[in-house]
Structures are given as structure tokens and as C-alpha cells.
Structure 1
Amino acid sequence: MGFSPVSKTSPVNLSLNYSIAVLGFLILGLLGAPVVECDIVYQAINCRKHSAALTDFGAKGDGVTSNTAAFRNATAWIGWRSHPHCASRKMAHWQFQSHQQFHSFSPEGSSYSWIPGNFAEDISEYPLIEPLKSYGRGRDAPGGRYISLVFGTNLTDVVITGENGTIDGQGAFWWDKFRAKELNFTRPYLIEIMYSNQVQISNLTLLNSPSWVVHPVYSSDVIIQGLTINSPVGSPNTDGIDPDSCTNMKIEDCFIVSGDDCIAVKSGWDEYGIAVGMPTNHLIIRRLTCISPDSAVIALGSEMSGGIQDLRAEDITAINSESGVRIKSAPGRGGYVKDIYVRRMTLYTMKYVFWMTGAYGDHPDEGYDPKALPEVKNINFRDINAENVTMAADLSGIKDDPYTGICISDAVINLSPKPKKVQWNCTDVSGITSNVGPPPCDLLPEKVLESGCDFPTDVLPIDKVQLQTCKLAF
């Protein structure tokens, strides 16, 4: 796991309430702060036996000193304490590129402020890492990627949590560089965890990411809870949470303001995603509130070449957003989007309620196979209430590869003062509707469904995980 540099900013936006980063044990970073006795209570899949204050390992909160060695030494010490007979065992791969300052330790020992040093504008402080195998290149540009602010790979039992503590990615510098086409590599994300399992990210405020905010990829058994994510609505590619080739995962109780999709479900890009073949499946999204004027509340794709299956979204609220659930694909993607279940969406001020497209033709290179067609089927929506809507639905599949098994039931859509003349645009799709208004297109005929469109009743394994209440004494 790595902590890359960020730049100075106002303390107002950076209160950090004992931000905790954990790998099978816990490190509490109190740079520049005295350590006093206090109990810290947090929830985790497994409680931690050992902890370390970074100041005990030479860390300085002066905004200038690199604390890489302090992070590494603290990690090694805790690893030795946790496994005294395996001191030479490599516990995990952590990378720290840190010039950070923590101060304003409260008398009660419960709150810190994180005022980082002036290093976000020094790109050399962000090492390059390889592009994801399922993408074949960086998302912004060919070649590598700048390492994320918080980064980890090949980890088991990871906890990144705090009492709504704030991490500010200071993304404006990166957005300006991106818009000016001055970057040769892909921008860093705020948090990226790869090839890991038993991952928990919770109770944090995440601001101004250079690009995607939270990106779990090639991982399993992931719990994301209680995040407040805020990026300017005009910021480029600041997706809130991007589950990518992950299995057995849930996202709950999050509030997201985004310049792109609030949640974008992915699984690789064209021929690279097809070759890797790692789907995102068994995903729960629950109690999400989203504001995204130019993008979707939940997007499926467009990079979905490894497949997306068994997504269950419920109790979703959107305000001033472009669309509810959007499926984005194209010839060349391959893969599939199937067994999608959505219920109880409340939408206010929307351009579209339902939006599906088979012409999202953004490709990594010329090596994709245009004959690799996606399979999109069994898409279920029920119990939808929408106000101030410009257009009910724009549903366009692919010629000779229609989107099938669409079911929409119990959807009440009230239009804006200036709605589109055509409310339902449907091509290359098939399915049914029940109790939907305004009246849908002919390709989705009315059918009486006493219990509405399908929503699974079985319990996924991630919903059976019980978090423990843990305590640390300092």
C-alpha cells in the first residue's frame, strides 16, 4: 500500500479523524503529533493486535521530510511483532512516497488534521507502474500509470477507515494537465487496491481525486461503506467507485458528487479484457446517493469485456444526474452484462431514467475484434419514482445483437416542463413492461406482473460477513 504526495491546501477541507490504514495489523500515522493514551474504536473483519505511531520511527510532520523510511520501518516492525518466527517473510508489498504533515492533535485524542506538504505538482514524486493487463494500456494514454495516492497489491485483510476523516487528492493540477494534453501517462487514482481479498474501505471523506476515486481491481470479498466522495461536477473522469474485475463485493451508504459516473462497474477493455477474462460478479449496491449532472448514477461499462453478472442495486437516490442505470458497450467489447437487478430508485431532475447504448465505441487500439459482440440480457428494474425528467428512456442495442430480457415494472416518471417530444426511443432491444408511465415503446409491450420484475431473494456471501468492533489503546 502506498501514500503518494499531495499539495498544500486549506485546513478547512482536511480534517482527519484518526485515519486508519491496516494490513492484517494497524499503523496509525500521527506525524507531528504527541501520542497520548486514548481508545480508538473501529470496525473491521478482523481486529488488530499491534499498532505503531510513525513518529516512533523517525517520521516528521514538517511538510518537507520524506517519511518513506518511517512507513517501511513501522511496517517491518509490526510484521515482526505479528510473526516473530517469520521475521524475514515478506508480508506484503507496500510503497510509500510520502511528504505529509499531521497536526492539531485534540486533547481528547480523537481528531487530527492532515495538512500535506507542497509536492502534488512534482510529478516525479509519483512513480510509474504498469498498465492493467485487462486494459493493455493506461486509460488516459498508452503506456504506464502514475501510482495512486493509496495503493496496495497482493494483500489479505486490508482496512482503510476513519471517522469521516478526509483525504484530499488535490486533483486540479492533474485535471489542468489532462485537459491541456500535457500528460504522457495515466493520472493517479485516489485509492487503488489490486489482487487482494478481504478489503474494507469505510467512513472516509475523499475529495478531488486526479481521476477515478476508489478502484478495487482483480479483488474479492470487498466491503465499501460510509464514504463521502466529492469532486467538482466538471472534473474529468472522476468516477466515484469503480469495481473492476471484482467478485463478492458490496457498496453501502455512500454519498457521491462526481464529474463522471458515481459508480462505474468494469471488467477490462476490448481484446485485453477478453483475454484476461475476469468478470465483476456478485455485486451489491445499497443506499447510494448520487449527484452527477453529466453522467450516470450507476454505469455498467463501457469497459466490460470480462463480463458483468449478478448486480443487485437497491434504495438508490439521484439528484440532478444525467441517467439512472446506464449500460455502455459496443462491437469489439465482447463480454456480457447479464442478471442485473435494480429496485427502489428515487430520482430528481434527470435527463434520462433508463439509458442503454451499443455504440460506445472507445477502443484501446486498433487490435480489437469488431466481431466480438457483447451479450446483454436479463436486465430488471422495478419500483422507480422519478421527478422532473427530460426523457424516460433511450435504449439502443446493437444491430444483429439486440439487448434482450429487459423488464421494467412499477415505474412512475413525471416529466419536466420542457420534455423531449419522444419519451421512449427503442432500437435493437426486447422485453416487457408492467405499470409504467409514460407509456413505453412497442418493443417493450405491457404485461401484467403481479410481483413485478425479478429481484433475487438469496443472500450473497458478502452480506454474511460480520464486522467486529475493535479497540486500540494508545
Structure 2
Amino acid sequence: MMEGENPLANAIRANFTRPSWAFLLLIFTGLAVLSIHITRNTIFQLGPISSQAGLERPGGPPSCSGLFEAPPPRKVVKSISEFGGVGDGRTSNTAAFRRAMEYMEKFRGTGGTQLNVPKGRWLTGSFNLTSDFTLFLEDGAVILGSQDPEEWPIIAPLPSYGRGRERLGGRHISLIHGNSLTNVVITGHNGTIDGQGKMWWDLWWNKTLEYTRGHLVELI
């Protein structure tokens, strides 16, 4: 080393001309810390998705909905209660959900629709969604799968199975179903969709399951 040279400056210059693994690790660690800082100050500041119908939740448990941008507002927003739904956990709401979806279908492609499910336990059989549609479950809302197989109609097996899964031939339609749909959102404030699948296992073990059981949600 020549007189007057700075050892620290020489070390830094050497790392830039021929970087060591330790120096590269230091650089990448710094970039990772900076990336985490930027992420925490951007993504996690997004607000929760609004129900658009006075169902905003000012407090309560954290929701993953805050990680995503809110979908565009729907033109028509209705509650399942407006179609005769009763959230007592005992009354069948199959007809109510199907009436609601029949109504929502009219607005497909013209601004879309949203069906709000308020707090309660909403027992229902299968129902089909439509395009340009949002199913919004409020905090405390629980959609329960019907325990009556007759409320899960029989449809053709999925092509990927070809012959059915548990049984040959047809299968029970999914609880929440949709074919060839676009712009569909299922969201809310930590609501629950509970298929109550024990019924299917009981039928299976009792050897009384005639058709393949349906899925919880199927959008194809």
C-alpha cells in the first residue's frame, strides 16, 4: 500500500471492481429491507371493500379484503332478504336465492349486480350465479348447504372425471355454481360458506349415495 492511501477506500473500491460474496449479500439484504418497507407503506394501506349498501364495517376482525382493490360499483344492489330470505338457520332459502339470481340475470352486461347476505345463517340448496355479479357476505353471514339432496340437482359429470367421481354418471351440482361466467366476485367482511359436507359422508358410508357429491363452489 502506498503512503497516503485510505485502507477503507481501497476495500470499497476492490468490492466494486471485484465484489465478494459478503459484499453482494450486504447489497441484497439492503434491497430486501427497502422492498419490505415500501410494501408495508403501499399495499396494506388499501381500505376494505365496501358493501355499497350501508353495510360498511368500521371495526371488527381484520379481513383479507383489504389487500385487494374494490371491484367497480354494481348498478343494482339488493339483499337476499328482499327476495324472501330468512337467516334463522332452519328455513330453506333455496327459492329465495334462485329468485334473486333470476332477477340479477336481467342486469348482466348493463352495470352488474350485487347480492348482499346480511348477518345470519342462511340455509340453501344450490343456486347459479350470473356474470357481472358480486356475492357479498356481511360480517356474521353464514351460507349453509342444505341437508336435502333434492336441493342439489343432478348435472352431467365434469369432463375431467368422465365417468363421475364417487359414482358413475351424473353428479350433484355445486352449492354455488356458474358456467361460462365473467366478472364474478365473491367477497365480504369475513362471512362464511359452509357446505355442511357431513351429509355426503353419511350417505357414502351408508351406501345410499346415488350420485357424486357436489362441490362447494364451482365457476367454469
Alignment TM-score, normalising by the size of structure 1:
0.26
The aligned residue for residue 148 of structure 1 is 174
1: CA distance, partners of 2:90 / 2:73: 33
State the distance in 2 between where 1:160 and 1:140 align. 28
Residue pair 2:118, 2:139 contacting (<8 A) in 1 also? no
Gaps of 5+ in 2: 1-48, 58-64, 122-137
Q: Secondary structure at the match of 1:75?
A: helix
Change in Cα spacing, 1:101 to 1:138, as seen in structure 2 (3 Å) is farther
Structure 1 residues 148-297: aligned runs within 5 Å: 148-194=174-220
Tell me, yes or no, if the aligned pair for 1:127 and 1:147 is still in contact at 8 Å: yes
Q: Distance in 1 between matches of 2:162 and 2:77?
A: 39
2:87 counterpart (61, 80, 83): 61
Does the 8 Å CA contact 2:163/2:169 hold for their aligned counterparts?
yes
Alignment: residue pair count: 143
1:125–1:69 Cα change, 3 Å: closer
How far is the alpha carbon of 1:185 from its aligned partner?
A: 1.4
Q: Deviations over 1:415-437 (max 9, x none)?
A: xxxxxxxxxxxxxxxxxxxxxxx
Contact 2:139 2:188 in 1 (8 A): no
Aligned counterpart in structure 1 of residue 142 of structure 2, from 85, 106, 114: 114
Shift of 1:64: 4.7
User: 2:160: which partner in 1?
Assistant: 134
| Matches of 2:155 and 2:108, distance apart in 1 | 29
Q: CA 1:83–1:113 in structure 2 vs 1: closer, same or farther (change >3 Å)?
A: closer
TM-score w.r.t. length of structure 2: 0.50
Change beyond 3 A, Cα 1:158–1:111: same
Deviation digits for residues 195-230 of structure 1 (CA, Å, limit 9, x no counterpart): xxxxxxxxxxxxxxxxxxxxxxxxxxxxxxxxxxxx
- CA RMSD in angstroms comes to 3.9
Shift of 1:79: 4.2
1:132/1:44 CA distance change after superposition, 3 Å: farther
1:147 and 1:188 in contact (8 A); partners too: yes
Q: Comparing both structures, which one devotes a greater share of its residues to strand?
A: 1
Q: CA deviation at 1:80?
A: 3.8
Matched, 1:52 2:69: no
For residues 246-272 of structure 1, what are the alpha-carbon distances to aligned partners after superposition, in whole Å with 9 as ceiling and x for unaligned? xxxxxxxxxxxxxxxxxxxxxxxxxxx
SS in 2 for 1:56: helix
Task: Could you tell me which runs of 5 or more consecutive residues in structure 1 were left unpaired when the two chains were aligned.
Answer: 1-19, 21-27, 29-35, 85-90, 92-99, 105-109, 195-474
Identity of aligned residues (%): 45
| Distance in 2 separating the partners of 1:185 and 1:159 | 29
SS at match of 2:183: strand
Distance 1:188 1:51, change over 3 A: same
Q: How does 1:75-474 map to 2 (within 5 A)?
A: 75-81=101-107, 102-103=119-120, 111-114=139-142, 116=144, 119-120=146-147, 122-194=148-220
The Cα offsets for residues 73-113 of structure 1, whole Å up to 9 and x where unpaired, read as 433444445667xxxxxx9xxxxxxxx99529xxxxx6224
Larger % of helix: which? 2
Amino acid at match of 2:120: H
Deviation string 1:391-424 (CA, Å, 9 cap, x unpaired) is xxxxxxxxxxxxxxxxxxxxxxxxxxxxxxxxxx
Pick the structure with greater CA Rg.
2
Given that 1:46 and 1:157 are in contact with CA atoms closer than 8 Å, whether structure 2 keeps it comes out as: no
